[in-house]
Structure 1
Amino acid sequence: MGRGERDAVARGARLCEAAQAAMGDHGRAVEAVRAALRPIHDAAVQRELDAIPVARLQDVTEGRLRLGSVEKSGLRTVGGVLAAGPYRLRQIPGVGQRTVDQMLAAARRLSEAVHETVAVHIDVDRPEPGTTALVMALHVLVEAGPDARRAVDRAVGLSERLGPLLADARPAARRFRMLLVGQDKKARALAAVTEIRSLVDEAEQAGLPELIAQASVDLLREPSSDIAAWVDFELRSAEYYSLLAEISGRLPDTAAAEGFLPDEIAERVRAQHLDDAHRRVSLRGYQAFGARFALAQRKVILGDEMGLGKTIQAIAVLAHLAAEGQSHFMVVCPASVLVNWTREIEARSALRVMVLHGPDRQDAFADWKGRGGVGVTTFDALRGFPAPGGGDVGLLVVDEAHFVKNPQAKRSQAVAVWAERCGRTLFMTGTPMENRVMEFRELVRMLDDGVAESLGEGDALAGSVAFRKSVAPVYLRRNQEDVLTELPSLQQTDEWEELSASDEEAYREAVRAGNFMAMRRAAYMRPEKSAKLERLREIVQEAGENGQKTVVFSYFKDVLGVVEEALVAGTTDGTAVFGPLTGSVPAGRRQRIVDDFAGVPGPAVLLAQIQAAGVGLNMQAASVVVICEPQVKPTIEHQAVARAHRMGQVRPVRVHRLLATGGVDERMVRILEAKTRLFDAYARRSAVAEATPDAIDVSDTELARRIVEEEQARLGMTDGKPAATE
């Protein structure tokens, strides 16, 4: 046996040792998180049990327990019953051993359920020793990043393969031992040496020894301070919570994470491989499933609710296809999110990205066509580019795809041509059906004409369950409440204000003129006596005193101008005011305004036109949201709120909707509640929706006309003018 064989075994042993060391380092880092999490989770479970009334034990035992004497004894919660134990329970008059056994068994069942479902929320504003230890333990894994996770996964594979081979090759490690073993062991040892040499050569060519060594270094590196860990948590909370969910095993309900797809489709999606070689970000389980869905089904709509990381899922699909050898990709989006898309692709992947927009877009397009990469363009710019040949583009991504639901629009026609020519298409929208289910059919038609044709009036009449089943081959939607257990609370408050005499006068003038839009903003047109404006000032002042940032949304530019003037004139605590961010602000400038708003220390206010800022811009820096008036479409409000209350938000979000009593606001709220219920039934999961959407739908023009006529009649203005929408 020569030196070559011994060297091969030694190289294999060193690589195996390094792999096992990295696995051990990762295991210890994970165990540190579990150890820090355990007392926090146990305390959360106890708080939950202490809040459950003892009467709930009746539900668990189907009403068999008699608990009157237990409550009279002072045990009023399930937590109290468990803490009391069997001895104390038996001392309660009228409670026998059988009742004690049943009571404790029911309490333990509730405790187990709470233990499995309760989520740990990390309060960034009230750091305690326990949560600080947890954040610091998580920081190690977050800082090590996807490369460390990838290295550990490879290390596991190497260890599993090298371990048995090294055992078989042990005789070859020493010159004289080979003389003492039989022919079978000698042959096995020589075969093992050959395989070890091949494995080590392959690993070295792939750079695995360096990758594994770096992972160990990163996993052993501690944060410079607890302050550094907390700052990083606030910046990257989504990654911290993602790791926490994975390590704790408290993952979302599988059916919810998979969008309640039929079993046969879900099985096909689960079997789809997802390559992460060109990706620089870890995915949550539901995000990996979304990327696999797009790959397995080829042409799909990803309809996840706002804030669930649709962009990350699209990037995962792009990275996978690039690893398979695809070279050209196209992303189409509103101008307002061009900058966001380029940033995300550059930060989250190793893919080349090019902006195909502006006066030089044709030159940029030619460069993209020649060199490849991810082209990012707008709906309008896409119309000026030649459609690709079959197979030229690996994936077409269309962000905010509900913008192309009208088949008569030129932008819709351009997208339809590209979708037809591309083998894979990913439509992304959190609001695929703003009013009518049948509008959704037009989006589906661009992807799968057969599925679109199957969506007739009958599906709408049958309710949302039949509808979701029909669109399952092309449509996946998950909701925040189903998959993001760590989101801080969202508190929504309708702030009803009595119009001042001055407000009332302005409102009557708008009604008399039949001007619907003037009616909607009348409460701000005389700012010196505006009841809504006064309440808005109070909300902003309270937020500022608490060091919170506020975003103020309105449909109207002139309302934002009034608000800006009032806040700038009335601010005495140093609160900075940014904006207004409107549709006329260039896309790149919009992103800079949001960045500046997020970057300023302390309280700040961002003024934003709701239809401009409700698309694509992430405003997690804001924990207070003010909506100046009700919107014609409920989804406009949903989108705007979701810009702040989304994955990555670390503080509870308070939403204040400013409403005036007795006029247009009341009528809009009443009508739009029906619209919201319709949207929930069809765009979200529901088993009880039975009404056809067209029976409830109200178009913008029809809504304006109806409300103006009703208000003119209420105020005795039957000779008023017909409704005007501007």
Structure 2
Amino acid sequence: MAESNAMDRAQISSLLNRAQHTINLAQQASNVLRLLNSPEAVRVGDKGTLGTDTYLIPQRNITWPDNLYVKVFLDGMNAETTLSNFVASVAVVPQLCQIINDSQGGMFRRLFNPTKVQAGDQAAFDLMVKLDEISSTTHEVSRMLEGVQAAYTRQQQGVALFPGIHGVGERYIERAQHELASALGMPQIDVEPWEGNSLVQARRVVQRYAQDPNSEYRLKNEAEKLLGSINELRVQVLLEQLPIDALRTVTDHRLRFGSLESINVTTVADVLKTHTSILTTVQGIGAQTAGRMKAAAETLKQEALSRQNTSIGNEPTQPAMGLINVLARFDQTETITPEERARRSRVIDYVEHIPPSLEPYIVINSATPDFEQFTDDLRWIEANPNLFYPQTITTPPADIWDDYLARPAHYQGLLSTLLGRDIKGADELLDATTLQKIRDLTLDKTFLTDLHLRGYQSFGARFAIIQKKTLLGDDMGLGKTVQALSVAAHLAATEKDFRTLVVVPASVIVNWTRECKRFLNLPVFIAHGDNKQDAINAWTQSNGIAICTYDGVRAMNIPAPGLVIADEAHMIKNPSTKRTQALRKLIDAAPYALLMTGTPLENKVEEFVNLVRYIQPELITRGMSKMHAEDFRERIAPAYLRRNQADVLDELPERTDSIDWIDLTTEDRSAYNEQVRQGSWMGMRRSAMLSPTPRSTSAKMQRIIELLDEAEEHGRKALIFTYFLDVLDELEKHLGERIIGRIAGDVPATKRQLLVDALSHSKPGSALIAQITAGGVGLNIQSASLCIICEPQVKPSVEQQAVARVHRMGQTATVQVHRLIGDETADERMLEILAGKSHIFDVYARLSETAEIPDAVDITESQLAARVIDEERARLGLAVSET
């Protein structure tokens, strides 16, 4: 370049300033490129979840990537290519600037260093050309970077998810919603702001409620801890009984136990509590084997803990006593409806699981039933804060454990309710409208007394009311009777001039009578016997309950009731019988009907269809009996409800006890009264089991036959106990081939075990009969899960030992224990004397929940015999002195 074309100092300065500006833009462009390529995504922190698709998120809990708005601004501008090319083209500019700077100086430098001067002049020329060359791109990038800066600054002020006065453009809002949906794993979302003031108020109310020691919130926490302690104690007992060989079942390693007995290690519990250094002192056990043994033992312990349930049990341990006290306190606060409890529980759950926020929440998908329920619940708490006020209760009495033993099902139900583990029902096949009606119905308990319904029982009762005519097929032991009584009580309270007719087999009339009088504050009429029509006539003038037999329905003139309850409804499975036809007329005339049966009729479709036809004939279609099982169940769902024990009982009780009150036949009663006249203690105790005539069958024997029929239906085998040898003879006479064998005092031990083995290989419905003093001890008979005791024993501890033959470790089935008690006989007098007259009905349930009854509670047989004989003679109008 010619000397005359060299730039002066002012031109060089201007050129360098222009170059520095370009360098700065290139640096900014590089930063933007790094920002665009950042892999950072939206992160959502703690959030509240309602249902499956609705979320409440505090704004501070969403972390946005810094490049969100920058990316939106640069969309469609080919920004990455433009910026990359610009940065590359500017790469030479700093070098040219450096050459120019090096060439600058005073006159002496230009005179004595002409080479640098020439290089500087050339660099200045090249720089000018370069800057002119990229001038238009520089201008474009400059404007682009200004927009990037504006977008970045706007994002720092907050990301907008919905329109507002902030003025953020629609595409920025849409991109933010899209990125948030991706972070939540959802294809798309609806977003709205929610102020959250009502949740703040709810939080204050709940926090105050949580400080109340008698609040359901605090009681639940106490119950969970105590139940955990109960289960830990049970597991400890189990591990103390498990031999060390059990360790081999939970490890793939070959374990060598050596002579662990030498250090008194014989059980899994011993392995857990013995230090590794002690285990390794046994010959053949090194550190590795000892470590594996300890690991296997811990595995067994954890597996056992994971399988524990909510059964309170029968041992008055410290945690069990504590739990009963908690439940007794909870029972006093049990003053709200199940619906109110559910709503209160939801509000507490909201407060616990939705993070607090001083700013409005971001609501994802508010147009859902879950969010509607949420806002409705919060409005409800504003209107009903009294349900969160401190509770005033009295201290449970010192003998609260006795009350638990008398009413274990009541306390077990309270625990299930408190823990929120009640199963509500089998509703998956019901249409949404019907299900909502059931949920909305509140049972009127005006005429109910001392009855706590489990969740599934409440559902069953409401199902029967809403559907009007239904079939309840719950498994045995799930409380079909109390569900039916709840239906009757509700309808009596809500309908005008309403009466209920209960139709049952003769063998359970006494049971139903006692249950009605125990749980209902309604008049009860027994339409059975010589005065049955008089009872019906009196019933028609009341709002009460009439109880009669299936044969009684056919024999009497019965006006149409409001509700027909038919227990053991499989007895009318044949539509051609006269009793079925008579009862069907009443069912047709009544606005409500509830048929009940524990027999699994699903396997007998024709009979099943007949029962459904009686109550909802419109459900029956041609060829229905040949439907696929799933289609059949869906078809009859409006009429039929069945739950199994495993479905609804979280505690899965290992043992279910019941007293079967037996109404003696006329011949039974005559034979029994004769024994009373003679003052025969042994005769009075066993006469109800012995047939009065060669061709007759006693009422107790008939009940045993019914129980064995049910056992056959449900795959059970039975163990039948009696004190008397001639009762064993009577059982063999009437039960025939069902009897696998007989155990009495004269049967040697080896043969007894052979009989036990024979029972394990027999078919359902089979029975082993035993004299209680012989078969009640020393045998393990886990193959039987039905235990029948023909008459009460003088010492309750004898019964406990007998029941323990089937109710022991290794039993996999729920054990059912039936005690046959003759109504108005020495059996009942014995219960009164042994347990006190205030607990006649509950005594055996109480005793059966106790693993061992100390002999201290037993009284001498002579004392008991004398008192029972005197009371029975007095009841029959016989002189006591005649003995």
* TM-score normalized with structure 2 length: 0.43
Q: SS in structure 1 opposite 2:557?
A: coil
Write the letter of the residue equivalent to 2:500.
Answer: M
Alignment partner for residue 395 of structure 2, among 222, 229, 234?
A: 222
Which blocks of at least 5 consecutive residues in structure 2 are unaligned? 1-200, 358-375, 741-758, 768-785, 787-883
SS in 2 for 1:283: coil
Partner of residue 476, structure 1: 642
Aligned residues: 503
Q: Counterpart of 1:402 in 2: which secondary structure?
A: helix
Q: Does 1:43 align with 2:233?
A: yes
**Structure-1 separation of matches of 2:613 and 2:244:** 54
Of 70-79 and 151-160, deviating more is 151-160
Is the contact between residue 659 and residue 665 of structure 1 (CA under 8 Å) also seen in structure 2? no
Determine whether 1:142 maps to 2:310. Answer: no
Q: 1:23-54 deviations in whole A, cap 9, x for unaligned?
A: 85333444444455444332211111222333
For 1:541, the equivalent position in structure 2 comes to none
Structure 2: distance between partners of 1:633 and 1:387: 32
Change beyond 3 A, Cα 1:333–1:483: same
- Call closer, same or farther: CA 1:77–1:143 in 2, change over 3 Å: same
- Change in CA separation of 1:58 and 1:158 when aligned onto 2, cut-off 3 Å: closer
Q: Choose which of 394, 400, 413 in structure 1 pairs with 2:568.
A: 400
CA displacement at 1:448 relative to structure 2:
5.3
Shift of 1:398: 1.7
In the alignment, structure 1 residue 610 sits paired with structure 2 residue 700: yes
1:398–1:427 Cα contact (<8 Å) kept: yes
Aligned to 1:216, what secondary structure does the other structure show? coil
Secondary structure at the aligned position of 1:278 is classed as coil
Cα distance in 2, alignment partners of residues 160 and 471 from structure 1 = 36
Alignment partner of 1:315 is 2:485:
yes
Deviation at 1:428, TM superposition (A): 1.3
Whole-Å separation in 1 of the counterparts to 2:349 and 2:643:
38
Sequence identity (%): 25
Distance 1:22 1:345 in 2: 37
Question: Of the candidates 704, 708, 717, which is equivalent to residue 634 of structure 1?
Answer: 708
* Distance across 1 between alignment mates of 2:660 and 2:570: 28
**1:562–1:242 distance in 2 versus 1, CA, 3 Å:** same
Give CA deviations for 1:653-688 in whole Å, capped at 9, x if unaligned: 97779534997467432599646289xxxxx9xxxx
> Do the aligned partners of 2:569 and 2:595 also contact (CA within 8 Å) in 1?
yes
Which of 39, 50, 65 lines up with 2:253 in the alignment? 65
Q: Establish whether residue 561 from structure 1 lines up as the match of residue 671 from structure 2.
A: yes
**Alpha-carbon distance between aligned partners in 2 of 1:69 and 1:111, rounded to the nearest angstrom:** 19
Q: How does 1:68-147 map to 2 (within 5 A)?
A: 68-69=256-257, 72=260, 75-84=265-274, 104-118=294-308, 127=316, 131-147=320-336
Q: Distance in 2 between matches of 1:662 and 1:425?
A: 38
Deviates more, 1:464-473 or 1:272-281: 464-473
C-alpha distance in 1 between matches for 2:433 and 2:300: 36
Equivalent residue runs for 1:541-552 within 5 Å: none
CA offsets, 1:624-654, max 9 Å, x none? Answer: xxxxxx7387237899xx9xx9xxxxxx997
Aligned-pair distance for 1:407?
Answer: 2.0
Distance in 2 between residues matched to 1:655 and 1:276, nearest whole Å: 47
CA contact (8 A) 1:353 1:374 kept: yes
Q: 1:637 to 1:95 in 2, by over 3 A?
A: closer
8 Å CA contact 1:433–1:440 kept in 2: the answer is yes
Query: For the Cα contact (< 8 Å) 2:236–2:269, is it kept in 1?
Result: yes
- CA 1:433–1:317: 2 relative to 1, 3 Å: same
Aligned mates of 1:332, 1:28 — CA distance in 2: 42
Which blocks of at least 5 consecutive residues in structure 1 are unaligned? 1-10, 169-194, 493-548, 585-606, 615-629, 646-651, 679-683, 685-726
Contact 2:477 2:656 in 1 (8 A): no
The one of 659, 662, 665 equivalent to 2:728 is: 659
Q: Residue type matched to 2:705 in 1?
A: Q
Matching residue of 1:620: none
2:337, 2:442 within 8 Å by CA — same for their partners in 1?
no
C-alpha distance 241-406 of structure 1, shift in aligned 2 (>3 A): same
Sort the Cα spacing of 1:217 and 1:92 in 2 relative to 1 into closer, same or farther, 3 A. Answer: same
1:322-721 residue pairs with structure 2 within 5 A? 328=498, 330-334=500-504, 344=515, 348=519, 355=525, 357=527, 358-359=532-533, 367=541, 379=550, 380-381=552-553, 384-385=557-558, 387=560, 393=562, 396-420=564-588, 425-431=593-599, 439=607, 442-447=610-615, 474=640, 476-479=642-645, 483=649, 485=651, 487=653, 489=655, 557=667, 561=671, 565=675, 569=679, 571=681, 609-610=699-700, 614=703, 631=705, 634-635=708-709, 658-660=727-729, 664=733, 667-670=736-739, 674=763, 676=765
| Residue 262 to residue 360, structure 1, CA distance change in 2 (3 Å) | closer
Label 1:476 to 1:98 Cα distance change in 2 as closer, same or farther (>3 A). Answer: farther
Counterpart of 2:439 in structure 1 is 273
SS of the equivalent of 2:574 reads coil
In our comparison, the structure showing a higher alpha carbon Rg is 2
Deviations along 1:553-582, one digit per CA (max 9) or x if unpaired, are 99994599379839984649xx99699699
CA spacing shift, 1:105–1:72, aligned 2, 3 Å: closer
Kindly tell me: are residues 31 and 571 of structure 1, through their superposed partners in 2, closer, same or farther at Cα, counting changes over 3 Å?
A: farther
Higher relative contact order (CA 8 A, sep 6+): 1
Partners in 2 of 1:67 and 1:309 — Cα distance?
A: 48
Instruction: State how far apart, in whole Å, the 2-side matches of 1:568 and 1:477 are.
Output: 50
Match of 2:471 in 1: 301
* Other structure's SS at 2:471 match: strand
Change (3 A) 1:297 1:87: farther
AA partner of residue 429 (structure 1): T
Distance 1:18 1:555 in 2: 62
Residue 234 of structure 1: which of 399, 402, 405 is its match? 405
* 3-state secondary structure, aligned to 1:333: strand
Q: Secondary structure at the match of 1:676?
A: coil
Q: Offset at 1:222?
A: 0.2
**1:359 deviation in Å?**
4.3
CA 1:48/1:245 → structure 2, altered by over 3 Å: closer, same or farther? farther
Shift of the 283–87 alpha-carbon distance from structure 1 to 2, 3 Å rule, reads farther
Give 1:676's aligned amino acid: G
Amino acid across the alignment from 1:443? L
Deviation per CA, 1:423-452, whole angstroms, max 9, x where unpaired?
A: 653211334779988655543442455669
- Residue 217 of structure 2 is matched in structure 1 by 27
Contact residue 338 and residue 355 of structure 1 kept, 8 A: no
Contact 1:23 1:152 in 2 (8 A): no
Amino acid at match of 1:142: D
SS of aligned partner of 2:273 = helix
Give the superposition deviation at 1:66: 1.4
Q: TM-score scaled by structure 1? A: 0.51
Q: CA deviation at 1:232?
A: 2.4
SS in 1 for 2:215: helix
Cα pair distance change 1:99/1:128, threshold 3 Å: closer
What's the CA shift string for 1:606-625, capped at 9, x where partnerless?
A: x982278x5xxxxxxxxxxx
